[in-house]
């Protein structure tokens, strides 16, 4: 069976597991592989296994068909490790830049239970749902972001290219000019005379912000802020809960232990507050109190989720309940983001129109005054 391996661009995945072995990506430094490559690998491996091809032969076939040198090296090393007697999950764990802990834990559980193909299908579905959620968030923010940048560029262009030509004309009637015109003339003079200073200052501020974001205390402060601001809090909690419930649901449904699942979830949620909550869940489980108690004690979790988790733990259907919660919050978050994007568009257009209109009237009104003075 011949399969084509597309060279689609992918987002780089952050390393999550330490290893002493030299990773394959160092063979081709600079090449990016990530979630899209993992999805393609998993989809094609699932197809080959379902048609009866042994795991090692399937990996060899994928190694020959891989287009990216870095991905080709990783698949080849995984196949060699299996020939050397390692389990599939152990071979994947040597390449944490492509296979996160959740992926490895589920593969390990499937090896013990004998349902590798089914787990691979669920991993593809999970990656696709996470990518769909990411695309929804990006699309909801892209248009308002474009309008903000475009508005700033229009204002800067008018102040630098248009206002200097009129400011000379307005010198004779400066005392009679509207306040807005005087403000814009002052801003125009600052930008034209000290534009380089403003440019350097902007770059310095951006560089300082990037350096500050590398500090753990600054990142933790931002993580706390995300979960404190009224509207932002609701959105981020839904994002984190969707990811957490998705990973936990599929892992527990497939026999991965709760502690192993929680350990993998630390790398799924990029928020220090939520990671601290996951650590508290691990303590609760270790002490024998159950996972529902940890959810019940957290102020971050909505009441309805606490009730469903408790019901799922009591009935022994915790994995299925978490999967349903993830589906619900994904749909709810998508609706909320789409509504916010639709509301933001007219608001941003109104702000942009008012701003440009104010600038235009600040030019036209003085011209009318000058024409009346002439007549």
Please, what are the domains in the chain? 24-99 (1.20.81.30), 129-375 (1.20.81.30)
Q: Residue 290: left if φ>0, alpha if ψ -120 to 50, beta else—which one?
A: left
- What integer pLDDT is reported at residue 328 of this predicted model? 92
- What integer pLDDT is reported at residue 271 of this predicted model? 87
Contact assessment for residue 366 and residue 166, using Cβ atoms and an 8 Å cutoff: yes
- What integer pLDDT is reported at residue 107 of this predicted model? 86
User: How far is Cα 271 from Cα 267, in angstroms, rounded to an integer?
Assistant: 9
- What integer pLDDT is reported at residue 77 of this predicted model? 92
For the chain, 375 residues long, give each residue's pLDDT as a single digit of tens.
444 444 433 333 333 333 333 333 333 344 677 788 888 888 898 888 888 888 889 898 988 888 788 888 899 999 999 888 888 988 998 998 888 888 888 888 787 667 788 888 888 888 888 888 888 888 877 877 888 888 888 888 888 888 787 777 777 777 777 888 888 888 888 888 887 888 888 889 889 888 888 888 888 888 888 888 887 888 889 888 988 888 888 888 888 888 888 887 877 788 888 888 998 899 888 888 888 888 988 888 899 999 999 999 888 888 899 989 988 998 898 888 888 878 877 888 888 888 878 887 888 888 877 776 555
- What integer pLDDT is reported at residue 374 of this predicted model? 57
Q: Which two tokens stand for residue 360?
A: 């235009």
- What integer pLDDT is reported at residue 259 of this predicted model? 87
- What integer pLDDT is reported at residue 197 of this predicted model? 84
- What integer pLDDT is reported at residue 16 of this predicted model? 35
User: How far is Cα 76 from Cα 70, in angstroms, rounded to an integer?
Assistant: 10
For residue 34, what are the β-bridge partners?
Answer: 12
Inter-axis angle of helices 116-157 and 35-50, nearest 10: 160
């Amino acid at each position: 069976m011949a399969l084509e391996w597309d060279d689609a661009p992918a987002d780089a995945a952050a390393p999550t597991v330490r290893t002493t072995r030299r990773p394959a990506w160092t063979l081709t430094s600079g090449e990016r592989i990530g979630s899209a490559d993992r999805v393609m690998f998993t989809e094609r491996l699932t197809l080959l296994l379902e048609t009866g091809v042994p795991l090692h032969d399937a990996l060899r076939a994928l190694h020959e068909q891989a287009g990216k040198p870095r991905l080709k090296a990783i698949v080849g090393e995984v196949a060699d490790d299996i020939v050397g007697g390692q389990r599939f999950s152990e071979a994947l764990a040597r390449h944490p830049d492509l296979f996160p802990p959740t992926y490895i834990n589920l593969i390990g559980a499937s090896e013990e239970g004998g349902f590798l193909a089914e787990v691979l299908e669920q991993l593809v579905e999970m990656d696709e749902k996470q990518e769909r959620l990411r695309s929804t968030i990006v699309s909801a923010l892209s248009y308002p972001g474009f309008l903000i940048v475009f508005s700033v560029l229009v204002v800067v262009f008018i102040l630098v290219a248009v206002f200097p030509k009129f400011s000379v004309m307005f010198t004779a009637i400066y005392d009679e000019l509207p306040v807005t015109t005087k403000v814009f003339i002052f801003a125009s003079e600052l930008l034209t005379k000290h534009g380089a200073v403003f440019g350097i200052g902007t770059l310095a501020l951006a560089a300082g912000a990037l350096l500050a974001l590398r500090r753990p205390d600054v990142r933790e402060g931002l993580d706390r802020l995300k979960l404190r601001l009224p509207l932002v809090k609701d959105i981020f909690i839904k994002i984190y809960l969707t990811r957490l419930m998705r990973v936990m649901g599929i892992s527990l449904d497939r026999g991965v232990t709760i502690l192993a699942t929680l350990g993998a979830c630390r790398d799924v949620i990029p928020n220090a507050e939520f990671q601290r909550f996951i650590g508290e869940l691990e303590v609760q489980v270790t002490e024998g109190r159950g996972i529902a108690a940890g959810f019940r004690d957290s102020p971050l979790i909505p009441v309805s989720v606490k009730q469903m988790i408790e019901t799922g733990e009591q009935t022994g259907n915790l994995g299925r309940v978490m999967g349903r919660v993830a589906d619900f919050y994904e749909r709810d978050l998508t609706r909320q983001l789409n509504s916010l994007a639709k509301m933001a568009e007219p608001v941003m257009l109104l702000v942009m129109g008012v701003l440009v209109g104010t600038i235009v009237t600040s030019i036209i009104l003085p011209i009318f005054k000058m024409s009346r003075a002439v007549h």
